[in-house]
């Protein structure tokens, strides 16, 4: 029954996250509230990692697959994207590269300065 109990805990936290998403007027999704609830439960000792571990690791491992259906939806977005296609072809690689470079370099700089 170990896996069932782990799944129950995870789905219950997701459910509480959804309630918060409904009640709090911010565009923060249920999953993020749930992440914070689980983190607080673990660090305060309400939950032990052994109560969720295997099921949690399984869900994290298969997470990339969960984006495939939404991405396949791009096949219907052709018309909407076509008006700004050139801009997007430049913008997505350029701004993402700038962001990754800035976040990575700044984090590394502050870490190494301390050492």
| Residue ranges in 48-107 that form contacts with other proteins under rule CB under 8 A | 49, 52-53, 55-57, 59-77, 80-81, 84, 86-88, 90-107
CA–CA dist 28, 26 (Å, integer): 5
Q: Which is nearer to other proteins, 1 or 63 (CB)?
A: 63
Q: Which is nearer to other proteins, 1 or 114 (CB)?
A: 114
Q: Are 28 and 21 in contact (CB under 8 A)?
A: yes
CB of 24 to other proteins, least distance (A): 11
CA–CA dist 38, 50 (Å, integer): 13
């Amino acid at each position: 029954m170990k896996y069932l109990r782990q799944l129950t805990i995870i789905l219950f936290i997701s459910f509480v996250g959804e309630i918060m998403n409904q009640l709090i007027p911010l565009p923060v999704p249920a999953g993020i509230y749930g992440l914070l609830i689980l983190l607080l439960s673990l660090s305060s000792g309400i939950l032990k990692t052994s109560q969720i571990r295997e099921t949690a690791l399984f869900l994290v491992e298969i997470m990339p697959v969960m984006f495939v259906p939404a991405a396949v939806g791009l096949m219907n977005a052709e018309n909407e994207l076509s008006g700004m296609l050139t801009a997007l072809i430049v913008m997505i690689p350029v701004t993402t590269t700038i962001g990754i470079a800035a976040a990575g370099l700044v984090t590394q700089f502050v870490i190494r300065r301390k050492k």
